[in-house]
Amino acid sequence: MKRREFITIPAASLGGLLLFTLDRRPLRSQTRDGSVRVPLKFFTEAEARIVTAAAERILPGDESGPGATEAGVVIYIDRQLAGPYGRDKNRYTKGPFVESVPEHGYQGKATPREIYREGLRGLGDLPALAPTLQNEKLRAIEKTPFFALLRAHTIEGFLCDPMHGGNAGLIGWQLVGYPGPLMSYRDEIDKNPGLPWRRKPVSLSQVLGRPVKGWEEE
């Protein structure tokens, strides 16, 4: 049996409450100590570290607010790849596999799991590099299908419902000002034209008052 792999994440770097200063600058408050040991479903610990580093370059935490690491993007990607999506359960994968014109999109045989495994092999030393060198390394692969997946998954993991493992503490929704899947805007839809409507966000399971499972867990 495969050895169980974990990634250890400092609790202080995950989720948290986002406060906005008067000039709308986001300040992240995090009081949790210690670390979270997250069991990995697909990645090895070394792979998870590379994905963490790469996602943080795509969506960096900086003075504009938290980024991929704080949202736990790596946990999201790990769970997606472990589920039906990672195994291409909803993509037509019968042969023959023929390269075609760009208008026909990705025609390859490799699944997202295989694309990641192969792509990560070329980024082995990424976590140890300085951010500018990390950026250079990613720029060299930015036209590849692997990078396209990594970029899309980073955004998804930053802004998905937390049931999928990303958007820890609703940090992504706090940052952009998305209130979550609220049931009704009947009284708001035609009010405050041109003004933002903002609330402390809530997740789908908070809205429904019961746990909800993502497709990847079914």
Contact residues toward another protein (CB under 8 A) are: 57-60, 62, 64-65, 67, 85, 88-94, 96, 98, 100-107, 135, 138-139, 142, 151, 154-156, 158-161, 163-164, 172-173, 175-179, 181-186, 188-190, 192-197, 204, 207-208, 212, 214-215
> 22 or 183: whose CB is closer to another protein?
183
Give the pairing of strands 17-20 and 26-29. Answer: antiparallel
CB of 78 to another protein, least distance (A): 15
Q: DSSP string of 85-153?
A: TTTTTTS---S------GGG----S--HHHHHHHHHHTTTTGGGS-HHHHHHHHHTTTTSHHHHHHHHH
Tell me which amino acid residue 59 is.
L
> 27 or 45: whose CB is closer to another protein?
27
Rounded to a whole number of angstroms, the distance between the first and last alpha carbons of the chain is 23
Q: Which stretches of 12-104 are DSSP H helices?
A: 45-58, 68-71, 73-82
Tell me which amino acid residue 40 is.
L
> 47 or 56: whose CB is closer to another protein?
56
CB of 107 to another protein, least distance (A): 6
> 37 or 210: whose CB is closer to another protein?
210
What is the rounded radius of gyration, in angstroms, for the C-alpha atoms of the chain?
A: 19
CB of 34 to another protein, least distance (A): 29
> 32 or 151: whose CB is closer to another protein?
151
Angstrom distance (rounded) from CA 174 to CA 195: 17
CB of 105 to another protein, least distance (A): 4
Structure tokens at 138: 């990613």
> 2 or 94: whose CB is closer to another protein?
94
CB of 1 to another protein, least distance (A): 29
CB of 181 to another protein, least distance (A): 4
